[in-house]
Amino acid sequence: MANAPTKPTTPVKESSSASGAFATLTIPICIVVAICIFVFILGHPSHYKGGDPANEPNPGDLFGTVHKGGVIVPLIMSYLLMVIVFSIERFVVIGKASGTGNVDAFVRKIQSFLNAGNIDGANAECDKQKGSVANVIKSGLKKYREMEVDQTMDVDQKALAIQKDIEEATALEMPMLEQNLTIIATLVSIGTLTGLLGTVIGMIKAFGELASAGAPNQAALSNSISEALINTALGIGTSAISIVMYNVFTSKIDKLTYAIDETGFSIVQTFAASHKK
């Protein structure tokens, strides 16, 4: 029993390492891409009057307007790129963990096999489904078979051993699903804070123009206020997207966890009911 969780440990470690390497590469790449977009696309002379970035953006030109947000803009843009990339990565990973078919339908099939006492059929269904949920259930079914031939424990001890095996298998699978979610959760906060920083910088410039001797430069004052508002909008927008994606993924993970718990409970109850003397 002590050796039961050893087999899946290596794939989980490999998956965790791959996910960590993915995050390590993605973050600097997103920052570089955001800077390139800011400099070469948003800052292109065609977005400005007279083709000079020192002038005002062309009327209605969104790219030039965003570029006027200043040096904080590419940082917030890199956050947005990270949210997009990590969201795609989580969709792929959680999709694989769910398996090839609908999780709810899979759980119902397993329960019907268990009610009929068809453990082999349940195992075959796990092989067809694949994914983290199927892996955990298959581990529980394997322990189910082992407990059927074990003569050293009573029924309650055997049921407890099956439950413990399912819990151990779940503990090995769940970290893979939650990997990189902390990055998305962190972007929720720092997106808003960085936008606020850009706002403060813009307002400092605006008040500096107002405090200058003589009549303030209306164009410079307008640029400073625009910079503040652009950073505010980008920061809030990035945080809003991060919140939505984080909640989507936690909801999906909760659904998978519930499916595992529900099916695991059915396995334990079926064993206890069919082996009571």
In order, the DSSP letters of the chain are -TTTTHHHHHHHHHHHHHHHHHHHHHHHHHHHHHHHIIIIIIT-GGGBGGG-TTSPBPTT-HHHHHHTT-THHHHHHHHHHHHHHHHHHHHHHHHHHH-SS-HHHHHHHHHHHHHTT-HHHHHHHHHHH-HHHHHHHHHHHHHHHHHHH--SS-HHHHHHHHHHHHHHHHHHHHHHHHTTHHHHHHHHHHHHHHHHHHHHHHHHHHHHHHHSSSS--HHHHHHHHHHHHHHHHHHHHHHHHHHHHHHHHHHHHHHHHHHHHHHHHHHHHHHHHHS--
Full residue range of the structural domain in which residue 131 is found = 6-274
- Looking at residue 106, its pLDDT comes to 93
Assigned token pair, 14: 């490999």
* CA 234/CA 69 separation, integer angstroms: 10
Of residues 9 and 231, more confidently modeled: 231
Task: Compare 119 and 205 and report the one with higher pLDDT.
Answer: 119
Compute the average pLDDT of residues 63-78: 92
The amino acid at 62: L
pLDDT of 200 higher than 70: yes
Asked whether 23 and 180 are in contact (CB, 8 A), the reply is yes
Q: Quick one: pLDDT at residue 215?
A: 63
Mean pLDDT of the region 237-258: 95
* Residue scoring higher pLDDT (216 or 84): 84
What pLDDT digit, counting tens, does each position of 201-243 carry? 888 888 887 777 556 677 777 777 888 899 999 999 999 999 9
Model confidence at 9: pLDDT above 50? no
Please give the pLDDT value at position 14.
59
| pLDDT tens-digit readout, 89-99 | 999 999 999 99
For position 56, what pLDDT does the model report? 83
User: Residue 260: inside a domain, yes or no?
Assistant: yes
Number of compact structural domains in the chain: 1
Confidence of residue 74 (pLDDT cuts 50, 70, 90): very high
pLDDT band at 52 (very low <50, low <70, confident <90, very high): confident
CA 182-194-220 angle, to 5 degrees, is: 165
pLDDT band at 128; cut points 50, 70, 90: very high
> What does the pLDDT read at residue 275?
76
What is the rounded CA–CA span in Å between residue 101 and residue 114? Answer: 19
Given pLDDT bands bounded at 50, 70 and 90, which one contains residue 193? very high
pLDDT tens track for 142-168: 999 999 888 888 888 999 999 999 999
Residue 1 lies inside a defined structural domain of this protein? no
pLDDT for position 18: 72
Window from 101-105, 236-240, 242-246 with minimum mean pLDDT: 101-105
Mean pLDDT across the chain, nearest whole number?
87
Q: What is the pLDDT of residues 18-43, one digit of tens each?
A: 777 888 899 999 999 999 999 999 99
Indicate if the pLDDT at residue 13 is higher than 80.
no
